[in-house]
Amino acid sequence: MREGPLAELFRATEAAQRQAERDAPVNEPPDKRTMKAAIEEARPRSKPEPTEQPRPRWLRPLPEPGPGLNYVPAPESSSYLAVIRVVGVGGAGLNAIDRMMDAGI
C-alpha cells in the first residue's frame, strides 16, 4: 500500500491535516469581560412563569349493569341441549368432527 492511488490519498490527507494544525490559532484564555457576559447571559433574567398543572379529569362512573337474566332451562327440555364429548388424543379430533357431522350437529 505504499504506492497507488489510495496511498496518495492518505498522504494528501495527512499533509492537509498537518497544514491545518500549523495554521490553527493558538487558543488564548478568554477575557474576563467575555466570561462575565457569557455567565450573565446564561442566568435567567426573570423567574420563569409557572406553568399550569394539568387538572385530573374524572369520568362519571358507569351505571351498574342491570340484574343479569339467569336462564336455567327446564329439566324436561334438557333432552334438546346438545352434549358434545370428545374423548381421545391425537388426530385433531377428526373422528369427533365426523361424528358430529353425521349426527347433524
Q: Give the tens place of pLDDT for each residue, 14-57.
A: 888 888 887 776 666 666 667 777 777 666 667 777 788 887 77
Grid cell 491535516 in the structure block, residue = 17
Task: Give me the percent of the chain exceeding a pLDDT of 90.
Answer: 0
The pLDDT value recorded for residue 30 is: 62
Amino acid identity, position 35: M
The pLDDT value recorded for residue 1 is: 53
DSSP string, 36-78: HHHHHHHS-SSPPPPPPPPPP--PPPPPPPPPP------GGGG
**Per-chain mean pLDDT for the chain:** 74
pTM for this structure? 0.23
Report the residue count for the chain.
105
